[in-house]
Amino acid sequence: MTEQHTTSTRRVALVTGGSRGIGRESAERLASDGFAVVINYAGNKTEAEAAVAAVVAAGGQAVAHQADVADEAAVAALFDAAEEAFGGVDVVVHAAGIMSLSPLVDLDLDALDGMYRTNVRGTFVVDQQAARRLRGGGAIINFSSSVLALAIPGYTAYAATKGAVEAMTLILARELRGRDITVNAVAPGPTATALFLDGKDEETIARMAAQPPLERLGAPEDIAEVVSFLAGPARWVNGQVLRANGGII
């Protein structure tokens, strides 16, 4: 684990999938908001350490910790590491996820199982630890996708996993009655990250960028703005799915 050993009285945010894309942008934004940040990564230690270095260079506090989000022992150890480094956890941003695209009729079932493990079980495991450990006044922020409402062919399995995320989010918000912890999900539209761009030709990307009334793809910082809102001032927003997609739906 890469870390700074200074214990902080600041609020603490744990960001899964925090080494790249929306997760990294969210981690850097929360650090700029004054959070100490725990950056979880699945396998790319170099990218995670670069994310920590960016936070530290900007005057923030950060640690990196590897964990498979679907492994309950690894996720418990991730929360242990956050508590050891900074004294507790206030906000969990669960941005880790994978996507395999195929019509239902052709999808390899191993790909389905992989998405289920990371996107569904991973969300359940991370939220379970968050529900057990978050301090009062905290926030759990899951990630769905606007593709769930768009119903685009080829996204059957991925959208199904995000439907499960939305169900968990809405119910957990109610299960945490009396804890002063909000639970919401962000549902980005097409956003210029490696997860979205990989495997798409320029014509497809241009067509999807033209769909929202704002006529562009989202940027990771657009989504990080919503995360910042839910992590901080949005104490009366609870049990909701915020569709950050430029008006595409």
The per-residue pLDDT for range 144-198, each reduced to its tens digit, is 999 999 999 999 999 999 999 999 999 999 999 999 999 999 999 999 887 777 7
pTM of the full structure: 0.93
Please say whether the beta carbons of 102 and 157 come within 8 A: yes
Report the alpha-carbon distance of residue 130 to residue 164 in Å, rounded.
18
Q: Please check whether residue 33 lies inside any domain of the structure.
A: yes
Q: What is the pLDDT of residue 89?
A: 98
Asked whether the predicted pLDDT for residue 31 surpasses 70, the reply is yes
The per-residue pLDDT for range 91-137, each reduced to its tens digit, is 999 999 999 999 999 999 999 999 999 999 999 999 999 999 999 99
Please say whether the beta carbons of 141 and 231 come within 8 A: yes
Neighbours of 161 (CB within 10 A): 24
Q: Please check whether residue 89 lies inside any domain of the structure.
A: yes
- Closest alpha carbon to 62 in 117, 1, 123: 1
Range of the domain at 146: 12-242
Quick one: the chain helix, strand, coil %, rounded to 5? Answer: 45, 15, 40
Q: Which residues of 102-129 are buried (b: 16+ CB within 10 A; e: fewer)?
A: beeeebeeebbeebbbbbbbbbbbbbeb
Report the alpha-carbon distance of residue 243 to residue 249 in Å, rounded.
8
Q: Please check whether residue 7 lies inside any domain of the structure.
A: no
State how many domains the chain has. 1
The per-residue pLDDT for range 229-238, each reduced to its tens digit, is 999 999 999 9
Q: Please check whether residue 4 lies inside any domain of the structure.
A: no
Q: What is the pLDDT of residue 149?
A: 93
Residues with catalytic roles: 158
Sign (positive or negative) of CA dihedral 170, 228, 138, 48: positive
Q: Please check whether residue 68 lies inside any domain of the structure.
A: yes
Neighbours of 234 (CB within 10 A): 17
> Which CATH number belongs to the domain containing residue 62 in this structure?
3.40.50.720
> Which residue matches tokens 């097409």?
190
Q: Please check whether residue 170 lies inside any domain of the structure.
A: yes
The per-residue pLDDT for range 197-235, each reduced to its tens digit, is 777 888 888 988 898 999 899 999 999 999 999 999 999
Q: Looking at the DSSP assignment, which residues form a beta bridge with residue 140?
A: 92, 183
Q: Please check whether residue 249 lies inside any domain of the structure.
A: no
**SS3 of 154, please?**
coil
- Contacts of 105 by beta carbon, 8 Å cutoff, 6+ apart: none
**SS3 of 152, please?**
coil
DSSP 116: I
Q: Please check whether residue 247 lies inside any domain of the structure.
A: no
Q: Looking at the DSSP assignment, which residues form a beta bridge with residue 64?
A: 2, 39
Report the alpha-carbon distance of residue 213 to residue 232 in Å, rounded.
28
The mean predicted confidence, pLDDT, of the chain is 94
